[in-house]
Amino acid sequence: MSPTLRPLALALLALVGCERGPAPGHAQVDLRHTREEGGTPVASWEADGVTAEELRLRLGEMSPALRERYQTLEQKREYVEGLARFELLVREAVARGLQNDPEVVASTKRALVSRLMRQQLDEAQPPVSDAEVAAYYERQKEDYVRPEQVRLSHVFLAAPRADAARVAAAREKAEKLLAEAKALPPKDFAAFGRLARAHSEEPRTQPLDGDLRFRALEVLAQDFGPEVAEAARALIASGPGALSGVVQTDAGLHVLRLTGYQSALDLKLEDVRQQISGRLSQEKRTRAWAELLGDLERRSGFALDTAALSRVHVDVSTPMLPASGPAPGTIPSPFPAAPVEQP
């Protein structure tokens, strides 16, 4: 048992064996330090002890630097006495009935659930086939293969190119708005957004503070005109915050601010195979955990009385009461052993 889990063993009482198994919610646990017969004892106490074989194993699990501390007989004696005294404290805690202390029981329940998760998910990793990885890659290909994209905000003034008078009036206003935009801090996108909300005449983007979202340059040309795409391309070198001049299209005049940029992405299946496999494995873990929880609920006859639950009043006006015991446990999420890298 690892040092971190040893204190949790205080919650488990070794019950006298009987023909029938323990009742639900009760446990029969062997709290002896040495559970296997045989070996050469180097220390012993009532029906238990530390063997030379175990001591060699424990010392072998230490780093070479730490093993330097246990070269003399006295040093090894101190180590073994420490092991024995811990086990004697466990026995004394059980003799005093502390295994039923609410805090100890709550800690043990959390340790049991954690161990169950490792057994159910970590020790039986769901396999992910090459076919599953390839199918996921095809379904999510836009995450791995995409063109260069820009994100713009704009102030648009409607003025068809053929209407010279309207274009002239719109240009005069656009130049004034451009001057206001130049006076703003380059990275103050919110301030430019307020300018767009107040003056832009593009009905799709005006409520969004002029935000055009991320778009490929080709899509930008299709949606707003090639002039806007060319102006956006020119802003890329200066980075987010760069401001265009007044850009004229067939539909009207734009003042553009670059707010984001994504370089082109062209990842092949082999480039992301490991990443996708990890993501699919995580999804399988999540499903397996949900299936286990559902199965446990069905087998236990779990039922929820929504009528009774609705009558439980939650008063947010009263002060916080002193804790009557440990907080109840919650279901952990089946996270992967290692984080999944993003492309």
Average of per-residue pLDDT across 139-163: 95
pLDDT value at position 197? Answer: 96
Question: If we measure between CA atoms, which residue out of 291, 269, 272 comes closest to residue 126?
Answer: 291
pLDDT tens per residue across span 76-99: 999 999 999 999 999 999 999 999
User: DSSP letter string over 58-97?
Assistant: HHHTS-HHHHGGG-SHHHHHHHHHHHHHHHHHHHHHHHTT
pLDDT value at position 7? Answer: 42
What are the residue ranges spanned by the domains of the chain?
6-99, 125-144+267-306+327-343, 145-265
Query: What is the three-class DSSP state of 303?
Result: coil
pLDDT value at position 133? Answer: 96
Q: Is the pLDDT of residue 315 over 50?
A: yes
Q: Is the pLDDT of residue 334 over 90?
A: no
Q: Which of 198-212, 275-289, 314-328 has the lowest mean pLDDT?
A: 314-328
Report the chain's mean pLDDT, rounded to a whole number: 88
Average of per-residue pLDDT across 269-281: 94
pLDDT level of residue 321 (50, 70, 90 thresholds): confident
pLDDT value at position 34? Answer: 81
300 CB-side CA count, 13 A: 11
Residue pair 146/265 in contact by the 8 Å Cβ criterion? yes
Average of per-residue pLDDT across 222-247: 96
Average of per-residue pLDDT across 301-328: 88
pLDDT tens per residue across span 40-52: 999 998 889 999 9
Q: Which of 8-22, 128-142, 228-242 has the lowest mean pLDDT?
A: 8-22
Measured distance CA(297)–CA(164) in Å, rounded: 74
Q: Is the pLDDT of residue 10 over 50?
A: no
Structure tokens that stand for 198 in this block: 């107040």
CATH fold label, 145-265: Chitinase A; domain 3 (3.10.50)
Q: Is the pLDDT of residue 104 over 70?
A: yes
Q: Is the pLDDT of residue 2 over 60?
A: no
pLDDT value at position 335? Answer: 64
Q: Is the pLDDT of residue 172 over 80?
A: yes
4-18, 119-133, 261-275: range with highest mean pLDDT = 261-275
Query: What is the three-class DSSP state of 137?
Result: helix
**Hey, how many other C-beta atoms are within 10 angstroms of the C-beta on 42?**
17
